[in-house]
Amino acid sequence: MQRLIVTGGAGFIGANFVRGALDHSDAEVVVFDKLTYAGSLENLADVASHKRYHFVEGDIADREAVRQLLDTHRPTAILNFAAESHVDRSIDGPQDFIDTNIVGTFVLLEAARAYAHALSDEMRRAFRFLHVSTDEVYGSLGQEGYFVETTPYAPNSPYAASKAAADHLVRAWGETYGLPVLITNCSNNYGPFQYPEKLIPLMILNAVEAKNLPIYGDGSNVRDWLYVGDHCAGILRVLEQGRPGEKYNLGGDAERTNVEVVTTLCDLVEAERPATENPHMTSRGLTSYRDLITYVKDRPGHDQRYAIDASKMRGELGWTPQHDFASGLRDTVRWYLANETWCRAVQAGRNARSRIGLGD
């Protein structure tokens, strides 16, 4: 039986991957997570009793904890989802991003190298280290073109720079030490269990509470959106069929400006909870969720456009997203509206939806 160690498995993408791996493989899944503000056991409550699921609390930058993790659980693969990931937080406090995304990845690579070296030849050939990254490492696109696997790196935020550094470390450990590494770079994810500091859950929850919907700058920045379940299915495909030493871009082929995303969300919330029946809205004398849209000071160094070319994933591994943006976003709105208990639990004691990252 395969045994997967999933670092950062209590976070948004990691928790969705854990569910997918349990549902679509026979692998045993060991989650290793520091449980920071964005990583919560609430995200894994529905799989907590699964016989192939195990949880270990720990930090990927803790050398001894990582060594003990590998010695105890003897994985056939390590999947590194663990990362500080919010750009605005990286502007205000880059140190955590350096510590986790760069130093943590280094510690994990060194532990994996020592572990793999001690394996039998057969087990070493089967072992994989898969590092989950982002399209933000490539920088900003103009009005045309797409990110491909060979696009030069040009990160513009502390977050993106920390992920770019981690990608380079992973590649170097593959080239120098022969560690069988894989790298995936994805476009913006959305879907269930995303912490409410990110655009889509922030706008959904603010809308139903009749709070302002802040859009940075003029709202023209473009992102390519990928449903998290499709992303996780792609990662599992890379793990099973990807060629060691290769990197794979995963995108949703769903480019939208930020203002398009927010206005669409307003209309989807309206379909589920009409503004005229929402006491928060009526108390403000508002009849349309679009009336909540406000334009605020832009983020420093805000990349204008991201767009992924996922043709390598389609051609080599036969992966394509199963959700279009319209249906995926509708399902996401419905999930957040149906899971208010989760929303309250993960935000408890935190100012999760306040504006940060102004760089002042």
Rounded distance, CA 178 to CA 185, Å?
21
- Indicate the SS3 state at residue 80: strand
End-to-end CA distance of the chain: 52
Rounded distance, CA 160 to CA 315, Å?
27
Q: Does residue 135 carry a catalytic annotation? A: yes
* Residue showing tokens 């495909």: 237
Give the residues across from 31 on adjacent strands.
Answer: 6, 55
Q: Is 3 exposed, middle or buried (0-12, 13-18, 19+ CB in 10 A)?
A: middle
Question: From the centroid of its chain, how far is CA 154?
Answer: 20
Q: Which of 59, 88, 136, 197 is catalytic?
A: 136
Query: How many CB atoms neighbour CB 310 within 10 A?
Result: 27
Q: Which of 53, 115, 146, 159 is catalytic?
A: 159
Q: Are 319 and 261 in contact (CB under 8 A)?
A: no
- Residue 268 φ/ψ, nearest 5 degrees: -70, -40
* Residue showing tokens 């001894």: 64
What value does the CA radius of gyration of the chain take, rounded to a whole number of Å? 20
Q: Which of 33, 59, 88, 135 is catalytic?
A: 135
Rounded distance, CA 180 to CA 89, Å?
32
Q: Does residue 46 carry a catalytic annotation? A: no
- Tokens at 210, concatenated: 């009749």
Q: Does residue 267 carry a catalytic annotation? A: no
Closest listed residue to residue 23, CA positions, set 57, 56, 46: 46
Query: How many CB atoms neighbour CB 232 within 10 A?
Result: 26
- Residue 257 φ/ψ, nearest 5 degrees: -70, 160
Residues marked as catalytic: 135-136, 159
